[in-house]
Amino acid sequence: MAQAGVHGLLALAINKWVPDKKWLFIGILLGSIAPDLDNLAVAVATISGKSTNGLHRTFTHSLITVGSVILLFYLIAKITKQTQWWNLGLGLGIGIFLHILLDLLIWFNGVEILWPFPSWINLWEGVNPPDWFNKLLMPLEFLFFALYFILLQNWAINSGTDSDYLPKLKIWIISQILLFVIFLGLVHTLNRFFMLPYGLFYLLSLGLAFGVTFRMNRTLELHS
């Protein structure tokens, strides 16, 4: 599985090197998380009984997609004469690129880096992690989402921004920690029935990460 929370944490970590341009940093954050939305396509294919081949780490993990996103927002900026759209598109492109790079370097799987052209690259080919490690990665998704939210919470507290949202953010943090604990147990007990509830809550948590990131725009703009 992907680790969308890890990608979000990496994007937060580079904020000191991001120029202070409107919507650039939030674009990097959203771009860092966005490629894992391909899991939604995987879920739809699974439920409908269709093949999931070619759906994960392909069209959302391609350098061609990076270039297309940047070009699209460049054109929007030119048409609207609003430079923040260019900043957003550039940020999205940077974020997706960072996501691709991290997937290549630390996850035991490949990426179709020039999709739609055959270009599967797996730097860990031949390496097979133990079963317990693969099982642990899945519930860890929720823990990393919680850590992402916690860091955003600390930024908001330190900068005095989005204070009205912090009580709700605390609820989201607790919910992600609880999901981590629950699925840490279920991954060892549900066996073949595990992926249905896990996939549902993972996609909900991924959507939540997008929502929280959008909602805390004031905090993120201040820290960019």
Provide the pLDDT for residue 2: 56
pLDDT exceeds cutoff 70 at 122? yes
> How far is the C-alpha of 211 from the C-alpha of 11, rounded, in Å?
16
**Dist. CA 36–CA 116, nearest whole Å:** 17
Summary mean pLDDT of the chain: 92
Peptide bond into 139 cis (omega under 30): no
pLDDT band at 120 (very low <50, low <70, confident <90, very high): very high
Query: Please, which residues have CB within 8 angstroms of residue 156's CB and are 6 or more apart in sequence?
Result: 162, 163, 165, 166, 169, 216, 219
**Residue environment code for 154-192, b if the CB has 16+ CB neighbours within 10 A, otherwise e:** ebbeeeebbeebeeebeebbebbbebbeebbebbeeeee
**Mean pLDDT, range 165-182, rounded to an integer:** 97
Count CB neighbours of 41 within 10 A.
16
What local confidence, expressed as pLDDT, does residue 50 receive? Answer: 82
What would the two tokens of residue 55 be?
A: 């759906």
How many Å apart are CA 67 and CA 93, to the nearest integer? 7
Which helix (H) or strand (E) segment holds residue 64: the answer is: helix 63-80
Q: What is the mean pLDDT of residues 25-44?
A: 92
Q: Please say if the pLDDT value at position 67 is more than 70.
A: yes
State both tokens at 28.
């990097």
197's tokens: 């509830």
* Domain count within the chain: 1
List the domain range (segments joined by +) for residue 61.
4-223
| 1 has pLDDT over 60 | no
Res 53 pLDDT > 60: yes
